[in-house]
Amino acid sequence: MIETFLQPLPHGITLSCRAAGERGRPVLLFLHGFPEAAFVWDTLLEHFSRPENGGYRCVAPNLRGFERSSAPKDISAYRPKYLVQDIAALIAIEAAGQGGQLAALVAHDWGGAVAWNLANQHPHLARRLVIINSPHPGTFLRELKSSAAQQANSAYMNFLIRPDAEILLTQDDYRRLWEFLGNTKTGASTPTWLTNEVKDQYRAAWSGGLTGGCNLYRASPLRPPREGDPAAAAIDLPLAMLTVSLPTLVIWALDDIALPPALIDGLDAYVDQLTLKTVPGASHWVVHEQPALIAELIQAYLLQK
């Protein structure tokens, strides 16, 4: 059973959260992406909270700016360091009975961007990291700088930083967002997982506004360069900001149009203890498409010594 609650954090931000499982149990924390919200993890929250699957305390916060979480107006408040601050504070609360350490941090898309940074800066906060189709900043920066294909695949980012992006996204009952969610190699305009019930969940999450989600892109220079805006081309990140010492499982759906498999090439240069699992025939929305497989892959990884 999913519970929902608002969790105030010591630095003045409140995160709306979804959770399953008893407090005091080892904690799995799940971070969503854009244009998603915490509800996308419900199947996994319920799965891993069951005693036969580990009996974890499973928590999925809405990132700042999403659903009912705090939505600061200043774009700079959406820089990665502040998102990391939110999640570190939530971990301190949820994992207080576990020495302040998660059993694992699981993340997809923009949630993965937060998770990669947290794993680099605060590796003591989790025993394991699980990333699902979220590029490591090192390989993403490399591809944004050197690959015309990746620049084209990521061109939508420059739409999302437009000052009117959130207004355009709400038009015609969120037409552009439905197209975004249906953007797969199969060409299906409406994927089978995108049922009327799921659409209603998305509408409810988006009804609070889309500015916070767009601000994630506005606050980040990791996007394709364009005339008058060097973006990623002007960035160099030191290796110390990119290395991850945590045991890490990366699950990569191979038919991701925006984030192709080139982004996992060379990943082992940044991640000391890397386990890589690829999923053929699955798109960026693999958590929706194949939740049972994602649960199986994560479960097997958690059981490894």
Answer for the pair 286, 254: CB distance below 8 angstroms, yes or no: no
| pLDDT score, position 182 | 86
CATH code of the domain in which 173 resides: 3.40.50.1820
Hey, what's the torsion of the CAs at 282, 213, 43, 5, to 10 degrees? 170
Mean pLDDT over residues 126-151, rounded? 97
For 87, the token pair is 């999640």
DSSP 102: B
Reply yes or no on whether the pLDDT at 183 is more than 80.
no
Cα–Cα distance, 171 to 12 (Å, whole number)? 33
What does pLDDT average to over the chain? Answer: 96
Confidence band of 217 (pLDDT split at 50, 70, 90): very high
What's the predicted TM-score (pTM) here? 0.97
Residues facing residue 285 across a β-bridge: none
Q: What are the C-alpha distances in Å from 32 to residues 115, 152, 269, 270?
A: 10, 24, 26, 23
Q: Is the pLDDT of residue 195 over 90?
A: yes
64-119: pLDDT as tens digits: 999 999 999 999 999 999 999 999 999 999 999 999 999 999 999 999 999 999 99
Q: What is the pLDDT of residue 35?
A: 97
Does residue 187 have a pLDDT over 80?
A: no
d(CA 73, CA 71): 6
**Residue 304 reports pLDDT greater than 80:** yes
Model pLDDT, residue 190: 82
Measured between alpha carbons, how far is 251 from 25 in angstroms, rounded to an integer? 25
- Residue 184, pLDDT above cutoff 90: no
**Which pLDDT does position 50 carry in this prediction?**
98
Task: Give the pLDDT band of residue 210 (cuts 50, 70, 90).
Answer: very high
For residue 155, the model assigns a pLDDT of: 95
Percent of all residues in the chain with a pLDDT value above 90, rounded to a whole number = 95
Sign of the CA dihedral running 47, 49, 51, 55: positive
Domain that holds residue 229: 3-302
Average pLDDT on 28-56 reads 98
Residue range 129-141: mean pLDDT, rounded: 98
Q: Is the pLDDT of residue 12 over 60?
A: yes
Domain count, the chain: 1
Beta-strand pair 3-8/27-31: unpaired
Residues 233 and 225: beta-carbon distance below 8 Å: yes
CA distance 128 to 12: 28
Region 259-272: what's the mean pLDDT? 97
Q: Which two tokens stand for residue 156?
A: 């939508």
pLDDT of residue 189: 67
